[in-house]
Amino acid sequence: MTAMRKKMIKEMILRRFSPHTQRSYLASVAGLARYYNEAPEQINKQMIQDYLVHLMQERKLAWSSCNAIVCALRFFYHQTLGIDSTFLTIPPRKKVQQLPEILSTDEVECMLCAVTNQKHRTVLMTTYAAGLRLSEVVNLKLTDIDSKRMMIRVRQGKGSKDRYTILSKRLLQQLRMYWKMYHPSLWLFSGRKPGQPMPASTAAAIYYNAKNKAGIKKGKGIHTLRHCFATHMLEAGVDLRTIQVLMGHSSIMTTIIYLQVSRKRLSSIQSPLDLLNIPDNRKYPKQ
């Protein structure tokens, strides 16, 4: 490990960056260095801009991915090397808001029924029933399941925050069947390596396999189940503030997006066309 890499890691630890963010930032800087086969501290501003153009035009990376790389490079050059923050100036782009694809309750049921492996089914049921992020579900421990209070403790979720979410009766039954079959010790969902939790990539693959077996085309990733949790809760009459707390959103504005995808809310709205008194087309002859 180079001295510069050690220094960057130290700077990130001091700022309490999550392990995921640290890995992402290091990978971004390493990608730049590999592209030019140069030490990153030897790469100038023009070279960095050319590299970003390469990512956008040749590799066709999404703007969100490029923006994450820009954040990592800006941190490296500003915080680690101490170069003025204006060194890496990238014109901002208006963020494109995309609404999440939501599965119906029937589609979620069909997906869960398509999974015959009890461990895999329990992973998906836990994600959906508690509205968990991928990193949160794979890092659950047995001690996080509080059956007396019917709560699940989420440790160090996004933003390094702890929170509680609900433990459904149906999920508790499934967890008990799962425990009798697999007898997990520390991690609720352990990986193949002893003492290690299930890798996030494994949980993601479980979702895609279940979706394919059920013949469901929509829903990009396992995070879809978290979106479904929020939307289905909203359609069941749960208020936005409660959903915000259960989801761990720092701002209610993040939760409000589910108002736009709630089938119950949208289907209850009457189009102004339905208010017009116009004759039936069948009364008119063809022109």
Catalytic site positions: 133, 158, 223, 226, 249, 258
**H-helix or E-strand spanning residue 53:** helix 45-53
Which three-class secondary structure state does DSSP give residue 80?
helix
Contact 255, 247 (CB under 8 A): yes
Residue 248's SS3 state is coil
Return the beta strands (E) in 42-134 as ranges: none
Q: One-letter amino acid identity for 165?
A: T
- Residue 72 makes CB contacts below 8 A (sequence gap 6+) with 24, 25, 26, 27, 28, 29
Residue type, position 102, single letter? I
What is the rounded distance in angstroms from the CA atom of residue 165 to the CA atom of residue 149? 11
- In Å, what is the CA distance from 81 to each residue of 5, 24, 68, 71, 270? 11, 18, 19, 14, 59
Amino acid at 180: K
Q: Output Rg (C-alpha) for the chain, integer angstroms.
A: 24
H-helix or E-strand spanning residue 138: helix 134-138
> What are the residue ranges of helices labelled H in the chain?
3-14, 19-36, 45-53, 63-75, 105-114, 118-130, 134-138, 169-182, 200-214, 223-235, 240-247, 252-256, 263-267
Task: Report the DSSP beta bridge partners of residue 151.
Answer: 146, 166
DSSP single-letter state for residue 36: H
